[in-house]
Amino acid sequence: MKQVTASGKTVEEAVQSALAQLNATKDQVEIQIVDEGKKGLFGLFGSRPAVIEATLKPDAIESVVGFLQNVLLNMGIEANIDTVQEDERHVLVNITGEKMGLLIGKRGQTINSLQYLAQLVANRHSGHYIRVILNPENYRERRKETLVRLAERLAQKAVHAGEPVKLEPMPNYERKIIHTVLADHHGVQTVSKGEEPNRYVVIQPNTSQN
């Protein structure tokens, strides 16, 4: 974490000096005032410069990678982490290595929980909302195929039984897959219920078709 100490006739002057040294903008640093300074007699005698410490805030993506490396280390998992920033609000994190099944967990519960925490870490260090998707060994692609088949099967179940079908809690982007797959299905409609991170999809028979 890069930090500099700077001084100036005023606190603001000291801050500007620190920003120049760090080559950063004010919103990218944390400022701590060490000494507000003192104006002397006639602005000369007994004067004391203002002193501040400026610390460069960690980059959101770097913070996520550091967080994941620490978690993997504690889980005894050796893996490579590769981030792909699709745009300023979406980051895909590809993870490759051994014990990916342990990282994914039953029905993806472990990786989804870890993804939720990684997203909190990213947004703690970002001025705008960032969505983080963790993708161990292309799990997300395989998961999407599974969700598509699941949505179609449960839609038929809801239609035949004439009753709503509740799915397990899922992250937002997985719920979106269910909604998208069944958007043009005339026999059912889908709604999300509950609170994050336990929000889930309900597939309901479309009574307007009866």
Q: Nearest CA to 19 among 1, 35, 34, 3?
A: 3
CA distance 29 to 2: 10
pLDDT for 1 equals: 63
Q: Which residues of the chain have pLDDT under 50?
A: 210
CA distance 155 to 187: 8
Which DSSP symbol is given to 152? H
Given a contact cutoff of 8 angstroms between Cβ atoms, the answer to whether 54 and 4 are in contact is: yes
pLDDT for 17 equals: 92
Q: Nearest CA to 127 among 2, 25, 18, 13?
A: 25
Cα 162 from chain centre: 38
Q: Nearest CA to 68 among 105, 122, 108?
A: 122
Name the one residue in this structure whose structure tokens are 């609170």.
195
